[in-house]
Amino acid sequence: MQIRKVATTPYADQKPGTSGLRKRVPAFKQLHYLENFVQSIFDTIAAPQGSTLVLGGDGRYYNREAIQVILKMAAANGFGRVMVGKGGILSTPAASCVIRKYQTYGGIILSASHNPGGPDGDFGIKYNTANGGPAPEKITEAIFAASKQISQYCIADAPDVALDACGDSKLGDMTVSVIDPVVDYAELMESLFDFKAIRALLSSGFRIKFDAMHAVTGPYAKEILVNRLGASADSVMNAVPLPDFGNGHPDPNLTYAHELVEIVYGKDAPDFGAASDGDGDRNMILGNGFFVTPSDSLAVIAANAKLAPGYKQGLAGIARSMPTSAAADRVAQALGIPCYETPTGWKFFGNLMDAGKVTLCGEESFGTGSNHVREKDGLWAVLFWLNILAARKQPVESIVREHWAKYGRNFYSRHDYESLPTEAANSVMNLLKEGFADLPGKTLGPYIVKTCDDFSYTDPVDGSVSAGQGIRILFEDGSRIVFRLSGTGTEGATLRLYLESYEPDVSKHHLDAQEALSTLIGIALDVSELRACTGRDKPTVIT
Ligand code: VG1
Ligand code: CO
């Protein structure tokens, strides 16, 4: 095998965001763009000769081409083996599972998650470390630094590797092991949940609908929900992964998963509905005509965790991202376990899980997971809910309403202003930063401001500090307004406004969240001058 050293020049924009490097496909197709970033990863991680790497993606457009490039570069960079999912497919949680199970050096996941795909859609790449989790900031920053210095990359001159059948082949000295992308993950799920009870529930007439959104979870959902748990074949919709996700936007929320939403709010609705995103790490949970917010889902799972065999010993602790509602904090308090508040992005949970400080983690952005892997995990959340439903034999809605009655309800909503000019988004953030010193003590409508800051996190395990993680306005009664800029977009800037208020009074728990939060929404728009700065009079997406 011939190894070619190719001279290259740096690109200035290869800074990984919340979850890896995400760009439009045409950007990735620029000369040496992908190769530069992959070589920067390899140079940074400095894997010993002969190491094993896991490789796979969500099947979106450009997945297969990128996999061939990465395989040839891995061979040229001294890897001994690459475990690649059949057809180039591995969901994000399955990749994490395989890295851990086979104790590989790390893995490369190709995905732009919930962003649309296709020739003009998005593509992404990220590196996960040996614990199965997204590389922490010190590694992503080092990769970025390497990408700004790069002058050459190494690649093997070799024919493309066949990826459509499982088995081993050679690429020079390196072994390419094409693995079944589902089986290890399905086994892990079976070890955590009461499949017998779920099977009994599903054969009792309880109907479910899972929307794979033409993204990666189709094959996983079919194997687990249909083959192993006996759900009817029509329980999984949009099950065939397509490179452009059938022209859809594979983000499991009330806006983009509208096909499923119409079914669960329609006539003859199933008892349970769920959806996952492009790479299989997000989840949306629905009951018959009922939406469970991700923040509430985390809290309900925490409160009922012992019903699942894998969690019957109880939880060590819970972690949630800062903008996620404090519903889980109340459960942690009742259970007498710690609750950690981290910046947005799964990479911040890794240290806490590795140190045994937390079992469950969650984000308001439809991300829930546990220490079974080091990524959030869409189907895992679905199975956890099914396990709870099988044990409690109550509808989703009554489980959530009982939860609110016991702990109080954290009304919650996120308003996204997408594709803003970067300057407009920055001006909102700057205005807030300039003004927040004056806010504490002020009365805004019925609320008194307690503190206001730009969230900074000190990792309790390694002491690393991540500053500038979002502007928080915290009120005396526990209500909150948070502003932050997205780190996953590929066009302009996305400003996220997060709103939360706590309501102990059961007689108000039936209220619509937008209605319950309307005063807070007005205050947020006032203090930020968002409408004047952006020229927008309403958000693009409300979740
Ligand atoms: C968003 C979410 C964040 C999530 C991240 C990756 O990031 O807010 O909670 O961890 O996406 O999820 P941002 O920076 O755009 O707010 V995924 O499913 O795209 O890997
Ligand atoms: Co995702």
Non-local (6+) Cβ contacts of 314 within 8 A are: 305, 306, 335, 337
Task: Name the band, by pLDDT with cuts 50, 70 and 90, for residue 529.
Answer: confident
* 6 pLDDT above the threshold of 90: yes
Q: Which DSSP string do the residues of 439-477 spell out, in sequence order?
A: -TT-EETTEEEEEEEE--EE-TTT--EE----EEEEETT
Which of 342-356, 381-395, 422-436 is the least confident region? Answer: 422-436
Chain segment 65-74, per-residue pLDDT in tens: 999 999 999 9
Q: Is the CB of 367 under 6 A from ligand 1?
A: yes
ipTM of the complex: 0.97
Distance between CA atoms of 342 and 356, rounded to whole angstroms?
16
Q: Is the CB of 375 under 6 A from ligand 1?
A: no
Chain centroid to CA 178 = 25
Chain segment 226-240, per-residue pLDDT in tens: 999 999 999 999 999
> What would be the CATH architecture of the domain defined by 185-404?
3-Layer(aba) Sandwich (3.40)
pTM: 0.94
Spatial contact of 326 and 338, defined as CB atoms under 8 Å apart: no
CATH match for 409-542 among 1.10.260.40, 3.30.70.120, 1.10.1780.10, 3.30.310.50: 3.30.310.50
CATH 3.40.120.10 region(s) of the chain?
2-181, 185-404
Mean pLDDT of 539-543: 92
Q: What is the pLDDT of residue 258?
A: 95
Q: What are phi and psi of 408, to 5 degrees?
A: 90, 165
Residue in 113, 147, 295, 528 annotated catalytic: 113
Q: 336 C-alpha vs ligand 2 centroid, how far in Å?
A: 31
**% residues pLDDT > 90 (the chain):** 92
Token representation of residue 29:
């197709």
Ligand nearest the Cα of residue 280 is 2
CA angle (84, 89, 94) in 5-degree steps: 80
CATH, domain range 2-181: 3.40.120.10
Spatial contact of 109 and 135, defined as CB atoms under 8 Å apart: no
Give SS3 for 123.
strand
177 tagged catalytic: no
* 455 pLDDT above the threshold of 90: yes
Q: Which DSSP string do the residues of 292-346 spell out, in sequence order?
A: E-HHHHHHHHHHHGGGSGGGTT--S-EEEETTS-THHHHHHHHHT--EEEE-SSG
Task: Name the band, by pLDDT with cuts 50, 70 and 90, for residue 487.
Answer: confident
Q: 155 C-alpha vs ligand 2 centroid, how far in Å?
A: 29
- Rg over CA atoms, the chain: 23
* 436 pLDDT above the threshold of 90: no
Task: Name the band, by pLDDT with cuts 50, 70 and 90, for residue 334.
Answer: very high
Name the closest-CA residue to atom 8, ligand 1: 365
